[in-house]
Chain A
Amino acid sequence: MSTLNHNRRNFIKNSSALALGCALPISLVELAFADSEKNFSFAYISDAHIQHIKGTRFVRNWDKGLIRAVAETNLLAPKPDFVMFGGDLAQLGSQPELEHGAEIMSALNQDVRYVMGEHDYYLDLGAYWEKLFGPQYYSFDHKGAHFIVLNSIRTYDEWTHRWPSNEQRMLEMAGLDNPNGSPFMVGEEQRKWLQSDLAKVAKRTPVVVFSHSPLQKIYKGWNFWTEDAEQIHALLQPFDKVNVIYGHVHQIQYNQIGNISFHSVMATAWPWPYPSSYAQAEQYLPKLTVPMNRADPFFERDATGWQLINMANGNVDMNFTLYNNSARSVRFNKANKQPEDSRYQEENTRIPGQQHY
């Protein structure tokens, strides 16, 4: 692992080479499938929050986060098999935002698949997003693993249809801490589809689920939450190895519930506080999680970044590329049967920046 960290640090140091457009080799960690055909990696970019000001102006800060993730992903060697985008490409779901985001993403050399975020959805319930990126939920197979993409940020119909305008609905859901918001859910329609999709998959096939919201209940006040999480867990329970990868939280989180490993991804736009730092919140951050460093606001890309994910023996290993910070790596520990940080998991190895209050 130190090889990866080392190379990545050099890579960040050399990032001025980006301007030259030359491909820098990045060694990937040694993959552990018996069948090397099944060893592969993919890149994960999420939560860009491209924000329109007016005319041709967009918030420069958020643009830069996504542009950097795309440029760095293109420099990976060997190349990842594909790229995922984890949702919230836009800030307020508008056509200019989605188009501007799609244009930045179009510089990627690999195929990209998209997950729906609430900031993409609540203006037109995903209509324009579907035109650009395809269906809101779907599945695909790759090198022996089954991948599922869910739209996990839907909510109760009464909430969705209670607003006088689509613009107001979007604004109400866009405020993370807005008490007028509503809890996220996958919903009955997709749960039925998921059940029939999974019926065709052998129980020993590794399953990877991509969602925008955590498919677990962490803190309802900020929608670090999926209302029907337990029902999804029940559908995934018969499989030997299940991995859930989610965006939305703009921070490192990981957890193990039964056979399911959970991992969050970083945002390219800005970091969010851990719910434990809101003094009035009742929250359940997984005890397993070693938090990311508290962000230094004076480095505008600090505590943002993107991920390189390795599939190894059906479990995902997360490699966090953090723009102004040391890289982090969270890998599945076979002995303890849970994801663990490769460096900071033990209490006595943690550093002051990881203490949130």
Chain B
Amino acid sequence: MFQIKKTSLYLGAIGLLVVPLSQADEFTTADTDRWQQQFMASVQQGRELWTSPTLGTNGVACAQCHPNAANTHPETYPKFQKQIGKVIPLWEMINWCLRNPLEGVPLAADDPKMTAIQAYVTYERRGVKLEPGKH
């Protein structure tokens, strides 16, 4: 017990000397700017996918029916979709569109493209209050 404590203190001292440990909660505006840039890069990728004729197989793009991602209502998900018969998150509805109007292949839930599409759709809806479940 004593031995372990002594070793951990020793390692901690090394750590302090070699790499200055950052404090968990003390992020700066430089950090938040960088995080925002990361997010906006994903939004930008999402916009490109949204307007791309090659996301599906028939040349149809998401933006053809949803200019500026309007009528996608990310603020209402998860919600009950009667045609699917259960409560679903937004990404399942995106995949429904990929399979049907776009005649394409669905994306995995954690596919970076799926993340980017959701980032774009949600960004276009910024400022709108959350209303989960709403129709």
Contact = CB atoms under 8 A, between A and B. Distances in A.
A176 B128 contact: no
A176 B100 contact: no
A222 B125 CA distance: 17
B124 A278 contact: yes
Interface residues of A, number: 31
A231 to B, nearest CB: 27
A277 interface: yes
B7 interface: no
Interface in B87-124: 96-97, 100-101, 124
A280 B69 CA distance: 11
Interface stretch (A21-29, A266-274, A337-345): A266-274
Nearest to B66: A273
Interface in A277-315: 277-281, 294-298, 300
Contact of B100 (A178, A275, A277, A300): A300
B58 A59 contact: yes
A352 B134 CA distance: 12
Dominant secondary structure of chain A at its interface with chain B: loop
Interface residues of B, number: 24
Contact of A297 (B51, B97, B125, B126): B97
Contacts of B64: 176, 270
Contacts of A298: 83
A273 B71 contact: yes
Interface in A35-86: 51-53, 59-61
B40 interface: no
Interface in A131-148: none
Given A59-B58, A175-B51, A271-B65, A280 B71 contact: no
Contacts of A275: 70
Interface of B: 51, 58-60, 63-68, 70-71, 73, 83, 96-97, 100-101, 124-128, 135
The 10 A-B pairs at the shortest CB distance, nearest first, are namely A177-B67, A273-B70, A273-B71, A298-B83, A278-B70, A176-B67, A177-B68, A277-B70, A278-B68, A270-B65
